[in-house]
């Protein structure tokens, strides 16, 4: 492992030495590709698996002693052994909270700290779990937020997790022959044909169609080529606001993706939960048995990317779709209440549905 680490350190040092400008863009792009390749090597870690329960999963990341465990136990009533030194919470005790009818799993992701992505600590296994989260909460100490924030973001980035961003708008298709064919639908400030060619050459790709549909960076191209990136929304939780002034608090409120709280005093938890709900974008569907009132207590909860009637049926039981004739839907997704719909109809939050079988 150590030789890989040495190589990584060497490339990082060279990148730090290299000035960023038009002339060096090409060279930097190459270094970035080499770095990404080195980092994506290595097997998965073992022994850190958590069964996925509930409708969504939230991972909590933070340095030791920023109040992450306090926040978790106060949110969920999960008791996790609290100690203010490094690498204590090793086995994840997931807590589950119910919010607006959805079951949300809270996971402590321990030890994502400098060096985890180079195989130190229990980093690797933790990252594998982090990649399966629907939302990541980075818990920061309000008195020293920025240094920590950068380090944690770098860690997650190094593992192919992209926070609060969308996949790059780049078309990429490998071919058998014909060389590298580059089309850009808008002006490019960083990538030119030569840079694209040499980045792809690092991956031993010499024949491909590349379409840049936005002003893309070398990192964007590498993400698309590596192809194993996950895009996860993220909220920065600034803890210990009992230690700052009202003026400072006003400034924090203006920072995007940030929620100030006090885990210890349980201040502002309602704001945090509301923001969590916003970022999870879950869709609640209420079921209505024939001739009865809808059941508003236990909605069927779907992720926003999969909200068709068919998805709803699959969530209940995979055989349901075979017996499906049509559905009656009340709510925002239909013009009439109720409306008869087929399995491809897309449902909206808090719709009511009744399935009619064959």
**Concatenated DSSP letters for 255-307?**
STTEEE-BTTTTBTHHHHHHHHHHHHTEEEEEE--TTS--EEEEEEEEETT--
Which candidate, 265, 257, 195, 225, places its Cα nearest to that of 23? Answer: 195
Does 54 or 12 have the greater pLDDT score? 12
Does 66 or 265 have the greater pLDDT score? 265
Q: What confidence score (pLDDT) does residue 168 get?
A: 93
Which candidate, 110, 103, 126, 116, places its Cα nearest to that of 52? Answer: 103
DSSP-assigned beta bridge partners for residue 209: 173, 181
Q: What confidence score (pLDDT) does residue 138 get?
A: 92
Q: At what angle do helices 193-202 and 25-40 cross, to 10 degrees?
A: 20
Distance between CA atoms of 199 and 28, rounded to whole angstroms?
10
Q: What confidence score (pLDDT) does residue 252 get?
A: 80
* pLDDT tens, residue by residue, 134-182: 999 999 988 876 788 888 888 888 888 999 999 999 999 999 989 999 9
Q: Are strands 258-260 and 234-239 parallel, antiparallel or unpaired?
A: parallel
Q: What confidence score (pLDDT) does residue 93 get?
A: 54
Q: What confidence score (pLDDT) does residue 330 get?
A: 95
Structural domains of the chain in order of their starting residue, each with its CATH number: 3-41+168-228 (no CATH), 56-164+231-279 (3.40.50.300), 282-357 (3.10.20.30)
Distance between CA atoms of 336 and 352, rounded to whole angstroms?
13
* pLDDT tens, residue by residue, 17-38: 888 887 788 888 888 888 888 7
Task: Indicate the pLDDT class of residue 120, thresholds 50, 70 and 90.
Answer: low
Q: What confidence score (pLDDT) does residue 274 get?
A: 93
């Amino acid at each position: 492992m150590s030789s890989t680490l040495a190589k990584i350190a060497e490339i990082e040092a060279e990148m730090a030495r290299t000035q960023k400008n038009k002339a060096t863009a090409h060279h930097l792009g190459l270094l970035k590709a080499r770095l990404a390749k080195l980092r994506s090597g290595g097997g998965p870690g073992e022994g850190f698996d958590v069964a996925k329960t509930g409708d969504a999963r939230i991972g909590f990341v933070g340095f030791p002693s920023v109040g992450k465990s306090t926040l978790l136990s106060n949110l969920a009533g999960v008791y996790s052994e609290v100690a203010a030194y490094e690498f204590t919470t090793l086995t994840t005790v997931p807590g589950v909270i119910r919010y607006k009818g959805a079951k949300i799993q809270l996971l402590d992701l321990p030890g994502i700290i400098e060096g985890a992505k180079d195989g130190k600590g229990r980093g690797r296994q933790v990252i594998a779990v982090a990649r399966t989260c629907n939302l990541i909460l980075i818990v920061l100490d309000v008195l020293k937020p920025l240094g920590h924030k950068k380090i944690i973001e770098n860690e997650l980035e190094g593992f192919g997790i992209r926070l609060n961003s969308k996949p790059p708008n780049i078309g990429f298709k490998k071919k058998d022959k014909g060389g590298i064919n580059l089309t850009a639908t808008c002006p490019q400030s960083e990538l030119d044909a030569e840079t694209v060619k040499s980045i792809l050459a690092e991956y031993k790709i010499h024949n491909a169609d590349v379409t840049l549909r936005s002003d893309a960076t070398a990192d964007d191209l590498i993400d698309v080529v590596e192809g194993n990136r996950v895009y996860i929304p993220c909220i920065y939780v600034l803890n210990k606001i009992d230690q700052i002034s009202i003026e400072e608090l006003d400034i924090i409120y203006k920072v995007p993706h940030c929620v100030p709280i006090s885990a210890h005093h349980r201040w502002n938890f309602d704001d945090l939960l509301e923001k969590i709900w916003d970022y999870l974008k879950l869709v609640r569907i209420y079921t209505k048995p024939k001739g009865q009132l809808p059941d508003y207590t236990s909605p069927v909860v779907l992720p926003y990317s999969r909200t068709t009637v068919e998805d709803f049926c699959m969530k209940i039981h995979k055989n349901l779709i075979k017996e499906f004739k049509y559905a009656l839907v009340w709510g925002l997704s239909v013009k009439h209440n109720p409306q008869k719909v087929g399995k491809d109809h897309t449902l909206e939050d808090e719709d009511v549905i009744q399935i009619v079988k064959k």
